[in-house]
Amino acid sequence: MILAIDVGGTKTLLAVFDDNKKLVEQVKFPTPKDYSEFIKSINEAKEKLTTKRFFAGAVGIRGLVDRRKGILITDSILDWRNAPLAKDLSEIFSCGFSVENDSNLAGLSEATLPNNAKYKKITYITISTGIGSVFIVDKKIDTNLVSSEIGKWVFEHDNKFQTWENFASGKAIVDKYKKRASELEDETSWKSISKNMAIGILNASAAYTPDLIIIGGGVGEHFTKFEKPLLQALQDFPHESIIIPKIIGAERSEEAVIYGCLELALQKI
């Protein structure tokens, strides 16, 4: 059995998968702000699982991680510092554990879906409060780009230099339109938003030359609202030497991280 753990800012999910990648059981609990309380909650959740033996595990978590040491260095919501997740979880569940950023795992999850796995190079872009990305090559996270910050790319916008996420993220949408992506239906607004998205996507296409771009995150869940204006905006930019790949919306939402954990754990066995 494989154990996948998704540690969110408000809730933690433990999911158990069998050898056929089938989800067989799960346990949820509110994520404590204190790390020692988190470990206590993990032990309590363990007792609720009927599965007692695991071959491998992986944990997805917000914030900055040290993959080699298996620790969470810091996070803007959880009051944890240098939390030794891999060590503690390995001792609790008696199996090896890998630690990865949750957005990267969401991308790995999407990239390994049957319809997407045929593509060699995939760029997954998370558009939520901020903007992040992960680059998947041959169904594995590219370690050369694993810490890249696509949302921090700087462009000239509204006559001043700004990061991409400053004018194209979910937060930027709320700041400008006073509505979330889920609430926004105005086509004119989405055309403007799509142009802002297209700037970064065009540059990602040039920098990473992916075969497929997947857009996920809170805004990405509403891909059908901006798919057409986004593709039109990309065509309107002059880019004769840049190949724009196929662009799709993510298929998984809340399940993405645990399935990414599953794939990572299997790759580490």
Task: Specify the residue for token string 């339109």.
Answer: 177
- Contact in structure between 230 and 192 (CB atoms under 8 Å): no
pLDDT at 130: 87
DSSP symbol at 114: T
Q: Do strands 81-83 and 160-163 pair parallel, antiparallel, or not at all (unpaired)?
A: unpaired
pLDDT tens-place values along the chain, 269 residues long: 999 999 988 899 999 999 899 999 999 999 999 999 999 999 999 999 999 999 999 999 988 899 999 999 988 788 899 999 999 999 999 999 999 998 899 999 999 999 999 999 999 999 988 898 999 999 999 989 888 889 999 999 999 999 999 999 999 999 999 999 999 999 999 999 999 999 999 999 999 999 999 999 889 999 999 999 999 999 988 777 899 999 999 998 778 999 999 999 999 88
Token duo for residue 157: 């916008």
pLDDT at 18: 94
- Contact in structure between 14 and 44 (CB atoms under 8 Å): no
pLDDT at 201: 96
Collapsed DSSP state (helix, strand, coil) of residue 68: coil
Q: For the chain, first and last CA: distance in Å?
A: 12
Q: What are phi and psi of 248, to 5 degrees?
A: -135, 165
Which superfamily, per CATH, for 114-249? ATPase, nucleotide binding domain (3.30.420.40)
Collapsed DSSP state (helix, strand, coil) of residue 165: helix
| CATH 3.30.420.40-classified regions of the chain | 2-101, 114-249
- Contact in structure between 74 and 81 (CB atoms under 8 Å): yes
What is the dotted CATH code of the domain comprising 2-101? 3.30.420.40
Beta-ladder partners of 65:
72
Distances (CA, A) of 139 to 34, 74, 112, 114: 35, 27, 6, 11
pLDDT at 149: 86
pLDDT at 241: 86
pTM equals 0.88
